[in-house]
Amino acid sequence: MRNNNKGFTLIELIMVTIILGILAAVAVPRYMGTVNRAEAAAEDAVLSALKANAEAYAMEKFMDTGRKSYPANPFAGASVDGYVVLSGDAVLASGQWTYTDGSSAGTGLITHKRNDDSVWSWTYTNADQSSNSQADDRGAFGPRSSSAVSRAGGDSADL
């Protein structure tokens, strides 16, 4: 009589399932962290482009008027994928950017909604930053902050 066992035993199948579960438990959080770091790097690139655009705008104003001034909207003249102008009760969709004028003159909030539905923001002002009588003719971009509802795989620290 010939023994013709060509299948796996139940214990072998359970062991493979356990090993795959352990691998998935380790890999998924690392993957989510990588996605968040990639989105943060993309945001940094957009902010760098906005800063360069604002500086180019200020230099054009300097050449025209002899004094730098920064745009009221940092997206003015910049080409950013996903930039939308929201009106009324509109809500940001994943991947979109927007700029909202603040309550004080020359200040506002740049916001970006990531694919995990977390919302990150930066302050922007086109007002002079000097408190003495001499104006320094600079606008400013604030640091990244989170107004996130959920940050799957991420943390609230500045990235």
| Predicted local distance difference test score (pLDDT) of residue 67 | 83
User: Cα separation of 120 and 114, whole Å?
Assistant: 8
Are residues 156 and 148 in contact, defined by beta-carbon separation less than 8 angstroms?
yes
User: Cα separation of 142 and 6, whole Å?
Assistant: 65
| Predicted local distance difference test score (pLDDT) of residue 156 | 40
| Predicted local distance difference test score (pLDDT) of residue 150 | 40
Determine the straight-line distance between the first and last CA of the chain, rounded to whole angstroms.
67
Say which residue the tokens 């909202």 belong to: 100
User: Cα separation of 52 and 112, whole Å?
Assistant: 19
User: Cα separation of 27 and 11, whole Å?
Assistant: 24
Instruction: Please report, in tens digits, the pLDDT of each residue of the chain (159 residues total).
Output: 667 677 888 999 999 999 999 999 999 888 888 888 999 999 999 999 999 999 999 899 889 988 888 888 899 888 888 888 887 667 888 899 999 887 667 788 899 999 888 899 998 988 776 665 555 566 788 888 886 444 333 444 433
| Predicted local distance difference test score (pLDDT) of residue 19 | 97
| Predicted local distance difference test score (pLDDT) of residue 136 | 57
